[in-house]
Amino acid sequence: MATDGEGVTTLVAFWGCPLTCRYCLNPQSLSEDSVKRVLTAEELYHLVRIDELYFLATGGGITFGGGEPCLYTDFITAFRNLCGEEWKITLETSLNVPLENIKALYSIVNEYIVDIKDINPKIYKSYTGKDNSLPIANLKYLIEQGKADQIRVRVPLIPNFNTEKDTKRTVSALKKLGIENIDNFTYIIKTETQWKQT
């Protein structure tokens, strides 16, 4: 459980991601061997509803991350049906999933934290191994559905992959699309030995 500035939230990480980012911030989500616990939506609900009073009092709820939560549309939909409309559901997502997945979730998700990496398709692909046309199209779709105010986009400066000029270009492009809530930050690259020590 954590406080995100807008309410108490419980973080739930899914296994699996369509991307192969060079400096993955949650590499354990990529290995099936690292899965700590497998729960149904009902089991998760019964596990976390002990914090319902905190969620309701602070406007908080559940943040689904990963990996890629948008790969688990059935789970998230089932969870929403269990917890009702008063809990806030947030997704930490790359949006690099089929549009059908986004359509299945947009009416039940309250907030999106979107990791765009870079608007330049060459930079995005060199870092993630995938094309960025899908996440950009999905972002536009959410904006068209009136979700712009519920979207926070992360734009990182990634050493050896993009520059400050690149991040400014990405921020400018996002603002033209209608996104105002943008986080700029710099990745701090750790060696494998450093990761093991933290």
State pLDDT tens for residues 167-186: 999 999 999 999 999 999 99
State yes or no: pLDDT of 3 exceeds 60: no
- Other C-beta atoms closer than 10 Å to the C-beta of 178 total 15
Residue 75 has pLDDT above 70, yes or no: yes
pLDDT of residue 196: 47
pLDDT in tens, 127-171: 999 999 999 999 999 999 999 999 999 999 999 999 999 999 999
Average pLDDT, the chain: 90
* CATH classification (class only), 2-197: alpha beta
Res 6: pLDDT: 63
pLDDT value of position 192: 53
Give the alpha-carbon dihedral of 69, 110, 53, 79, to 10 degrees: -40
- Whether the Cβ atoms of residue 182 and residue 118 lie closer than 8 Å to each other: no
Average pLDDT over residues 87-109: 97
| pLDDT of amino acid 93 | 97
pLDDT value at residue 190: 65
Q: Both ends of the chain: CA-CA distance in Å?
A: 20
Burial class for 152, CB neighbours closer than 10 Å (0-12, 13-18, 19+): middle
Tens digits of residue pLDDT in 109-127:
999 999 999 999 999 999 9
Q: What is the pLDDT of residues 86-95, one digit of tens each?
A: 999 999 999 9
Joined tokens for residue 47: 């596990």
Q: How far apart are CA 184 and CA 98, in angstroms?
A: 26
Per-residue pLDDT reduced to its tens digit, 20-68: 998 887 777 777 777 778 899 999 999 999 999 999 999 999 999 988 9
Report the distance separating Cα 131 and Cα 164, nearest Å: 21
pTM of the model: 0.90
Structural domain spans, the chain: 2-197
Residue 38: its pLDDT value, please?
A: 87
Residue 195 has pLDDT above 50, yes or no: no
